[in-house]
Amino acid sequence: MIPTILIVDDDKAFRIATLALLKDHGYQVHAATNGQEAQRMLGEGRYDLVLSDLVMEGINGIELLQWIKTELPETPVMMITGFGSIHTAVEAMRLGAYDYITKPCDNDELLIKIKRVLDERQKERELRHLRDAIEEKYRFGSIVSRNERMKKIFRLVQQVAETDVTVLILGETGTGKEMLAKAIHFNSARKTKSFMVITCSALSETLLESELFGHEKGSFTGAQKQRIGKFEDAHGGTVFLDEIGDVPLHLQTKLLRVLQEKEIERVGGNHPIPVDVRIIAATNKNLTEMMKSGAFREDLYYRLNVFPIELPPLRERLDDLPLLVEHFLQKHGTLTNGAVKRVSPAAMAMLMSHDWRGNVRELENVIKRAIITTTGDTIQSVQLSGAHTGNFKPYMPKTTESGEIPFKEYIKKVVFDAESKYLVDMLERHEGNIKMVAELMEVDRKTIYRKLEEYGIDISKYRHAGDAG
């Protein structure tokens, strides 16, 4: 798009010369002979820059500048000053003029200054667009993701957030269940009310009950005062039942009642109290299995499972990893005053090939630790817990410059890691007896040896002294 400039000056010779100069340099240019005319033209069209004289009849340059600052704050203004009015030019800068130039103008200087202000504006605009796009595409609340499955979840959740529907969030530890619950709350009509977290696993049975529902004075030993429970406290807001799979059976019955009747009863109390809360529950347990074994009430399960959302583990959305790394570098950059700016390709490859049992939380901790221990501006290596990687090195996929894993590399990694895990598991269970393992795997021994070599597996770790393969 060709930038449009408005020249405002009562000096006809200057207007004509500048108009011609700027047109010659590819700009679209209009001219006004005074402040009033400029205001009218600004009101009618869109200008990328105003070039205004300071001393004019009627509305002078300063007044025009002030008007533009309030009416069109995005439009930059550059002042043209005659000799002897430098102090007014300085005043104009203080009032928000972008720059000033003295008359008679040096053409090159004028062109450079104009180009600078327009370039800067353009960059600001691009940055803003980019930021908006990132915000929209990669975020829901403070959850960062570019993964398609996650974005689908964001879309679904955005719709359900506004309603009062009960949401059940499932996912491994550290996948962002609590973050999602918060985002739902803060995207709902209840956002100005409380978001109450109840960690169901953290309390003993009696305490949990009185924590949830409150108690009357003297209802049990130690209940010296009346206590208002979290459900009552959260009235009008959202209750987040974290680790719902850890609620003991007899409390499940009471929870069911809250969900069904929308009322609670304090421990030791004798009348129901109505509560208006939205329920979001989360667990990393398999509730269906628990239901089958009788550890989780079926009726409660169906009450909670109105709108289930399953957060995929990090290893199933590795395309999020570079974005999350970037996010955590920024989030925790303050630990070293922002000195650490990037992650080396080698370190990124290590991150990409880890299996992330602790998911995003584990990644966040790894990055935090790396920021603290890095001396330069680049994280060269990361410390990953070996607990889950067994006795083999995971495959390091080659990444593209932008940090993506090409499809072929991804498949290679999946096959490599799966095979080596399988092999390690076999060796562990059969104490490194290669003959037996080969038979069970229905391959010959040579194949096993070749794979051990390929995967860097040390067979001696699985053998007891004196064993032979």
Ligand X SMILES: Nc1ncnc2c1ncn2[C@@H]1O[C@H](COP(=O)(O)OP(=O)(O)OP(=O)(O)O)[C@@H](O)[C@H]1O
| 178 is an interface residue for ligand X by CB under 6 A | yes
The answer to whether residues 448 and 442 touch, using CB atoms and an 8 Å cutoff, is: no
| 173 is an interface residue for ligand X by CB under 6 A | yes
The token duo for 26 is 């590819």
| 178 is an interface residue for Mg ion by CB under 5 A | yes
The answer to whether residues 158 and 166 touch, using CB atoms and an 8 Å cutoff, is: no
Least distance CB 174 / Mg ion (angstroms): 8
Least distance CB 178 / ligand X (angstroms): 4
Which positions from 425 to 464 touch Mg ion by CB under 5 A, shown as an x/- string?
----------------------------------------
Q: Which is nearer to ligand X, 286 or 380 (CB)?
A: 286
| 171 is an interface residue for ligand X by CB under 6 A | yes
| DSSP-derived 3-state class of residue 87 | helix
Question: Looking at 364, 392, 397, 448, which residue binds ligand X (CB under 6 A)?
Answer: 364
The answer to whether residues 435 and 445 touch, using CB atoms and an 8 Å cutoff, is: yes
Q: Which is nearer to Mg ion, 60 or 173 (CB)?
A: 173
CA gap 2, 4 in Å, rounded: 6
Residues 6 or more apart from 241 whose CB is under 8 A from it?
198, 200, 247, 255, 279, 280, 281, 282
Within 101-204, residue ranges assigned H as helices are 107-138, 148-161, 177-186
Tell me the window of 18-26, 173-181, 262-270, 453-461 that interacts with ligand X (CB under 6 A).
173-181
Least distance CB 175 / ligand X (angstroms): 4
**Residue 299, CA distances (Å) to 80, 138, 257, 291, 446 in order:** 77, 36, 10, 10, 55
Least distance CB 178 / Mg ion (angstroms): 4
| DSSP-derived 3-state class of residue 176 | coil
Which positions from 122 to 161 touch ligand X by CB under 6 A, shown as an x/- string?
---------------------xxx----------------
How many CB atoms neighbour CB 268 within 10 A? 16
Within 162-226, residue ranges assigned H as helices are 177-186, 205-213
Least distance CB 141 / ligand X (angstroms): 9
Q: Which of 125, 61, 47 is nearest to 93 (CA)?
A: 61
| 174 is an interface residue for ligand X by CB under 6 A | yes
**Phi, psi for residue 163 in degrees, rounded to 5:** -85, 180
Residues 6 or more apart from 213 whose CB is under 8 A from it?
229, 231, 232, 254, 264, 265, 266, 267
| 371 is an interface residue for ligand X by CB under 6 A | no
The answer to whether residues 457 and 424 touch, using CB atoms and an 8 Å cutoff, is: yes
DSSP code string of 346-375: HHHHHHHHS--TTHHHHHHHHHHHHHHH--
Least distance CB 1 / ligand X (angstroms): 36
| 88 is an interface residue for ligand X by CB under 6 A | no
| 176 is an interface residue for ligand X by CB under 6 A | yes
Question: Looking at 284, 353, 374, 420, which residue binds ligand X (CB under 6 A)?
Answer: 284
The answer to whether residues 186 and 325 touch, using CB atoms and an 8 Å cutoff, is: no
Q: Which is nearer to ligand X, 283 or 353 (CB)?
A: 283
Binds 53: which of Mg ion, ligand X, none (CB < 5-8 Å by kind): none
Q: Which is nearer to Mg ion, 178 or 419 (CB)?
A: 178
Question: Looking at 15, 113, 177, 297, which residue binds ligand X (CB under 6 A)?
Answer: 177
Q: Which is nearer to ligand X, 177 or 297 (CB)?
A: 177
Question: Looking at 18, 52, 85, 175, which residue binds ligand X (CB under 6 A)?
Answer: 175
Q: Which is nearer to ligand X, 7 or 367 (CB)?
A: 367
Least distance CB 219 / ligand X (angstroms): 31
Question: Looking at 361, 388, 393, 463, which residue binds ligand X (CB under 6 A)?
Answer: 361
Least distance CB 320 / ligand X (angstroms): 7
Q: Which is nearer to ligand X, 143 or 343 (CB)?
A: 143
Question: Looking at 72, 179, 203, 251, which residue binds ligand X (CB under 6 A)?
Answer: 179
Total of residues contacting ligand X (CB under 6 A): 17
Q: Which is nearer to ligand X, 328 or 395 (CB)?
A: 328
Q: Which is nearer to ligand X, 357 or 361 (CB)?
A: 361
Question: Looking at 208, 360, 438, 452, which residue binds ligand X (CB under 6 A)?
Answer: 360
The token duo for 73 is 């704050």
Exposure pattern of 385-395 as b/e (b: 16+ CB <10 Å)? eeeebbbbebb
DSSP 8-state assignment for residue 164: -
CA gap 149, 146 in Å, rounded: 9
Q: Would you tell me which residues interact with Mg ion (CB under 5 A)?
A: 178
Q: Would you tell me which residues interact with ligand X (CB under 6 A)?
A: 143-145, 171, 173-179, 284, 324, 327, 360-361, 364
